[in-house]
Amino acid sequence: MSATLMSKVGAQAGGADGPDRSGLSMRLAALDRLTEIGSARTGPDGFSTDLLSAATDVLTRAGQRLQLSASHTVVSLAGGTGSGKSSLFNQLSGADFSTVGVTRPVTRDAHACVWGVAGSGPLLEWLGVPRRHRYARSSALSSGEQSMTGLVLLDLPDHDSVLGHSTDLVDKLVGLSDLMIWVLDPQKYADAAVHRRFLVPLAGHSEVVAVVLNQCDLLTARQIEDCVNDLRRLLDEEGLEEVPILVTSAKTSEGIEELRKLLIGAVSARKAASARIAADVDNLVAQFEPFGAREVSVAAGLAADADGRTDELLPDSTEREVGAALVEAAGAEAIGESLRTARELRAADYVGWPVSWVMTRLTSPDPARKVRLGRLWDELRDVTAGPSGAQRAEIDNTITWVADNRVPQLPRPWSRTVRAALRSRVEEIPAAVGAEIRAALPAGPAVDPWWRAIGMLQGLLLASMLVGIAWLLDLLVVGVGKVGSGIPKLFADAWLLPIPAAMIVVGLFGGWLAARLSARAVGEAADRETRELLDDIRHRLTGVARDFVVTPAELELAELGEFRQELRVAAGSPALPGR
C-alpha cells in the first residue's frame, strides 16, 4: 500500500530537479479570482464567508510555501497521546530526539529532524519549530540515507493534549505539512474525535495522507488483520478509500522500513508540497462548484456549449422590449401628437386662408390660441422630466417581467444578483429618459422658409381681395349709382366692374387654394417630423434600456462566465478558447 501512495505523490513530478509548478500557479491564480468574485456576492444565498476565508487561507499558505525551499518535503507525524508517534520519529531519525514519556507519554512541542539542512532555515521558521527542537542529519547521513536528503520530519504535539496551545499547534502544522502521516494505536484507532476532526476533512487529500497502525507488537496476526480491515472500512466510509494503511511497531521496528520507503518516495518525487496545495485547491473547487452550476466536475471541468461558451446572455430582444416600455411610459405618442399640433398651429399663422385669418382677427381675437400654443411647448418641456407615478410603476413591471422571462436559469447567487443588476440603476431611468426626450425635441416651434413665402403670397391675395372689394363698392356707388361728379373714370366706369370682381375671386379662391395646398404640405411635413421624432425617441430610449437595465445584467452574466472559466482552470482543466 505504501507503493500506491508513492506512485500518487510522484505521478506528476517534474523530474529529479523538482516539480513543474506553472500549472499549480495558474490554478492558484484562478482560485484567487474565484475568491474575488465570490467576495462581492456573499449573503444567505451567496458565497459563504467561511468558504471565502478558507480559500484566502489556502492562497496565503500556498504563496508562502511556494516561496520557500522546493527541495525540502515537510512530513508530519500526528497522533494522540500514547500512539507511539514519538517513538516512530526517533526510529526514523536514528536518535532519541523526541522525548518519549514513561508514565504518561506526551508530546507538548513540535520537533523537527532535517535530512540536508541547507536552505531549510526559512522553512522551519515558517513552520514555527523552535530552534531547540531542530535536529540535523546532514553530518550523520549514511549511504542508505542519502535518498532521504530534503526530508523535514515533524513530530507534532498530541492532538488530544489538554494543553490548549498544543491542539492549536497541531491544527496549524497539519495545514502547513506537505505529507501527513496519522499514527493510530490499536486501542484508539476508531476514535471518533480524530476521525471527525482530522481525517474526514482530508477526504480530498488522499495523495498526501497515510495512516499508520502502530504498536502491532501488542496484537496477534489475526488481531492485526481485523484492526486493519476495520480501519479500512472506516476510512472508506469517510471518503479516504485511497489512503494507504501501514502496520508498524516502534518497539520491534516492524514496518519501519516500509514507512521509510514511503518517505523516500515522497522526497524523491519532490511533489508532495505541490500535491498538498493541489489537494487543498481541489477541496475548495468542489465547494465552489455549486455556484458555477451546469455540470461541474473537478476531473472533467465544466460542461460547455457546442461553441465553447460557458456564459448566458439576455436575448437580443430584451433591450428593445424594455425600450418600448420606456417609450410607452414616457408618452412618446402624445409627445408626437403635441408636436404635430404645435406645428400646424404655428403654420396656420403663415399659410392660413386670408378670409379665415381676417375673420378670426376682426371678429374674435383669440388670445387663448397663443396661450394654447405656448402651453403645448410647456407640456413638451414637462415631459422631459421623465416618467413618474403610474408610468414608473409600468417601468418597474416591465423589468420584473424581463427578470422572470428573459433571464436564463442560473445557480445561486447569480439568479439574485442578475435580477438585482437589472434594477441597479432604476432610480436613474426617469432622469435619463427625460434627458433623451429633451435632446430629441426641437428647440421650439420652428418656421420653415417656405411658410414665409406662402405668407407673403397670402398677404398679396388678401390685399387683392380687399382692394377689389373697395374698388367694386366704389364702382357700384359712383359708376352704377351715379353718385358724385368729376370722379376719374377708373372709379366711375361701370364697365370696369369685372376687374375688381376678378380681384376678389382671385384673392378668395387663391387664398383658399394656397391654404389647402399648404395645409396638406404642412400636414405631410408634420407627419414626417413626428415619425422621425418618435423613431429618434425609440432609438434613444432603447439606448437607455441598454445602458441602465440590460448592460448591468449582462456584466453580471459575464462575471458568471468568468467565474465558470476560472473554476475550470482551478479544477485543473485547460481554459476554453477565446475567453
Do 113 and 99 contact (CB within 8 A), yes or no? no
DSSP letter for 47, please: B
Residue of 530 and 29 predicted with greater confidence: 29
Please name the amino acid found at residue 483: V
Q: What b-and-e string marks burial along 386-398, b requiring 16 or more CB atoms within 10 Å of the CB?
A: bbeeebbeebeeb
CA distance 121 to 63: 17
Question: Is residue 454 scored above 50 in pLDDT?
Answer: yes
**What is the model's pLDDT at position 39?**
95
Tell me which of 196-205, 217-226, 242-251, 281-290 is least confident.
Answer: 196-205
Do 255 and 247 contact (CB within 8 A), yes or no? yes
Residues constituting the chain:
579
Please name the amino acid found at residue 449: P
Instruction: Give the list of residues 6+ apart from residue 146 with CB closer than 8 angstroms, or none.
Output: none
Closest CA to 181 of 199, 167, 169: 199
Q: Start-end ranges of CATH 3.40.50.300 in the chain?
A: 2-14+69-271
Do 548 and 426 contact (CB within 8 A), yes or no? yes
**What is the model's pLDDT at position 414?**
93
CA distance 404 to 267: 57
**What is the model's pLDDT at position 18?**
41
For the chain, percent of residues with pLDDT exceeding 70: 78
**What is the model's pLDDT at position 6?**
38
The mean of the pLDDT values for the chain is 80
**What is the model's pLDDT at position 573?**
83
Question: Is residue 5 scored above 70 in pLDDT?
Answer: no
Confidence of residue 204 (pLDDT cuts 50, 70, 90): confident
Question: Is residue 2 scored above 90 in pLDDT?
Answer: no
Do 479 and 493 contact (CB within 8 A), yes or no? yes
**What is the model's pLDDT at position 93?**
84
Do 8 and 274 contact (CB within 8 A), yes or no? no
Half-sphere exposure of 31 (CA within 13 A, CB side): 32
Q: 246 pairs with which residues across the strands?
A: 212
CATH level 3 topology of 2-14+69-271: Rossmann fold (3.40.50)
C-beta atoms surrounding 180 within 10 Å:
26
Strand 209-213, strand 134-136: pairing: unpaired
Phi and psi at residue 299, in whole multiples of 5°? Answer: -80, -45
Assigned C-alpha cell, 507 = 384673392
Mean pLDDT computed over 432-445: 81
Mean pLDDT computed over 564-571: 93
**What is the model's pLDDT at position 169?**
85
Question: Is residue 286 scored above 70 in pLDDT?
Answer: yes
pTM (global) more than 0.85: no
**What is the model's pLDDT at position 181?**
93
Confidence of residue 7 (pLDDT cuts 50, 70, 90): very low
> 105 — alpha (psi -120 to 50), left (phi > 0) or beta?
beta
Question: Is residue 139 scored above 60 in pLDDT?
Answer: no
CA distance 143 to 407: 68
Cis amide bond preceding 387, omega within 30: no
Question: Is residue 210 scored above 70 in pLDDT?
Answer: yes
